[in-house]
Amino acid sequence: MRSHPDKSIYGTNRVDIVCITGFIVSLVTMLVLLLTIIPEMEWLNWLNVPLAVIGLALCLIGVITSTSRGYGIAGAIICCVAIALGLLRLNAFGVIV
């Protein structure tokens, strides 16, 4: 008796890994966003916003293709907040006109 090809030996779907990866990326972007509060670390927003966009894309792919969408939805919300706050901080310092 063979198992389903999308199931791994641990019982999670391969597509759930995309959701979990996007969620981890979103947590990293929020931690980096907290680091940008330090005045000397404002340049990290230039790395943080694209990383948050990548995390948002991973989360949306995971939500579309996965059966369990909790991590994907939570990661997408966190990434949207990180993108908004990062762009707001870049705008506050006059970098984005």
First to last CA, the chain: 62
**Better-predicted residue by pLDDT, 7 or 58:** 58
Helices (H), the chain: 14-35, 45-65, 70-92
Joined together, the tokens standing for residue 15 give 């597509």
| Domain ranges (residues) in the chain | 14-92
Give the pLDDT confidence score for residue 22 in this predicted structure: 92
Q: Which phi and psi angles does 4 have, rounded to 5°? A: -65, 140
d(Cα 3, Cα 71) in Å, to the nearest integer?
A: 25
- From CA 76, how far away is CA 16, in angstroms rounded? 14
Write out pLDDT tens, residues 35-88: 988 888 888 888 999 999 999 999 999 999 877 788 999 999 999 999 999 998
